[in-house]
Amino acid sequence: MLLGQALTAAVQSPINGKGACNDGFLRDDALLMVTFIATNGDIKGWDSEGTPAEWAQAVLDAKHGDDKSVVMLNIGIPPL
C-alpha cells in the first residue's frame, strides 16, 4: 500500500469504530498529526489511487471537517 492509500485507510471508520483494531485512534478532542517520512513519494506505475486533494479530504472527513484539528508534516518527499 502506498502513501495516499495508507493515509486514507488509516482514517476510515471500519478500523476506527467502536471495538475495531484502532478504536480510540481518532478522537474529537485530539489533534491528528499526520507525518510522511520517506525518501520518495509514490512511484510512477505504482501510484496510490486518488489524488492528494482526495486524501486530504478523507482526513478532514474523519475529523468531521475540522481543519484546525489536523496538522500534516512532510519529511523527505518533494511537494506534490
pLDDT of residue 3: 78
pLDDT of residue 12: 92
User: Has residue 42 got a pLDDT over 90?
Assistant: no
Closest CA to 7 of 25, 27, 19, 28: 25
Mean pLDDT across the chain: 84
Cell of 46: 505504482
Sorting pLDDT into bands at 50, 70 and 90, what band is 78? low
* pTM of the shown model: 0.77
pLDDT of residue 77: 60
Is residue 48 within 8 A of residue 2, CB to CB? The reply is yes
